[in-house]
């Protein structure tokens, strides 16, 4: 069942009522942030929650052609929250932006449901041409602090992008990506019995491809050193034998020179 689900194109769910979305957004914070203490914490002191609310208004205005007013609302949201979301960006349900300072989401960015973004994340374009130029983030993706996803690429559902990574190519579902440029270092799909993915927030556990490559190289160098030691040892034995032979030859020469006298 999951194989069929992960191959589906990203299609937004029918938008529920404002109050249903509000309840979902608050519940998402409780599910993904152990620091939250009460609903009032979320409503009054979570900039990511506020940025999403402002964006819904700005996106509604943008869709009705009131683009300047939509940009004003977006600009005000950026001033208050430190999170810049273009009014044209399409956000799914239960988006959680943790801390959020410095997050930038471009005009044609598309985000699926249950996505988690940390501070400093950029979903940016790489072209000056109009049209689709920002990333598509599918459901249940986690993007670590300071990561940049560039261009009209797709990050497959249930994937994790490590902190500080720069992703410039599309990523298949259930992948873990780290590095500059980002590379897929793990492909896995851990789910609860209900089929709901397990959200792994331990970014310190992400594999390091550079360390892995250096470790492999170190093992190779150690093997070469052992083989070289063996060759050197054999060469030393041969030199000792040749040295012994030279001594015997020198004695014979001395004998011949002295006419056989000892």
Measure the CA angle with vertex 62, ends 61 and 66; round to 5°. 65
Give which of 183, 188, 185, 213 is closest to 200, Cα–Cα: 188
Q: Where are the beta strands (DSSP E) in 13-83?
A: none
Token pair of 117, please? 């973004």
pLDDT per residue as tens, the chain (262 positions): 333 334 444 555 567 788 899 999 999 999 998 899 999 999 999 999 999 999 999 999 999 999 999 999 999 999 999 999 999 999 999 999 998 899 999 999 999 999 999 999 999 998 888 889 999 999 999 999 999 999 999 999 989 998 889 999 999 998 889 888 888 887 765 555 555 555 555 555 666 666 666 777 777 777 787 777 777 777 666 666 666 666 666 666 676 666 655 5
Which of 2.160.10.10, 3.90.1170.50, 3.40.50.300, 3.40.50.740 is the CATH number of 2-207? 2.160.10.10
Cα separation, 172 vs 39, in Å, equals 35
pTM over 0.85: no
Return the domain boundaries, the chain: 2-207, 208-262
Q: Which residues contact 27 (CB under 8 A, 6 or more apart)?
A: 94
Q: Where are the beta strands (DSSP E) in the chain?
A: 84-85, 90-91, 96-97, 104-105, 110-111, 116-117, 122-124, 136-137, 142-143, 148-150, 154-155, 160-161, 166-167, 175-178, 183-187
φ, ψ dihedrals at 206, nearest 5°: -70, 140
Token pair of 99, please? 């801390």
Cα separation, 148 vs 117, in Å, equals 11
């Amino acid at each position: 069942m999951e194989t069929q689900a992960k191959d589906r194109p990203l299609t937004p769910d029918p938008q529920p009522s404002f109050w249903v979305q509000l309840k979902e957004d608050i519940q998402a914070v409780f599910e993904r942030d152990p620091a939250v203490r009460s609903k009032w914490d979320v409503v009054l002191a979570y900039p990511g929650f506020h940025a999403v609310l402002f964006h819904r208004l700005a996106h509604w205005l943008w869709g009705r052609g009131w683009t300047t007013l939509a940009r004003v609302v977006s600009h005000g949201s950026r001033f208050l929250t430190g999170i810049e979301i273009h009014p044209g960006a399409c956000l799914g349900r239960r988006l959680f932006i943790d801390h959020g300072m410095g997050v930038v989401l471009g005009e044609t960015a598309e985000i699926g449901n249950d996505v988690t973004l940390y501070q400093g994340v950029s979903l940016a374009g790489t072209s000056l041409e109009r049209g689709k130029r920002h990333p598509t983030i599918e459901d249940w993706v986690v993007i670590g602090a300071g990561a940049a996803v560039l261009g009209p690429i797709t990050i497959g559902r249930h994937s994790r992008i490590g902190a500080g990574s720069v992703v410039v190519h599309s990523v298949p579902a259930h992948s873990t990506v780290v590095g500059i440029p980002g590379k897929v270092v793990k492909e896995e799909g851990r789910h609860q019995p209900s089929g709901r993915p397990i959200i792994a927030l331990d970014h310190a556990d992400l594999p390091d491809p550079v360390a892995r490559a250096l470790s492999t190289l170190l093992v190779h160098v150690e093997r070469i050193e052992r083989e070289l030691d063996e060759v050197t040892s054999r060469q030393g034995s041969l030199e000792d034998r040749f040295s012994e032979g030279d001594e015997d030859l020198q004695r014979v020469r001395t004998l011949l020179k002295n006419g056989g006298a000892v």
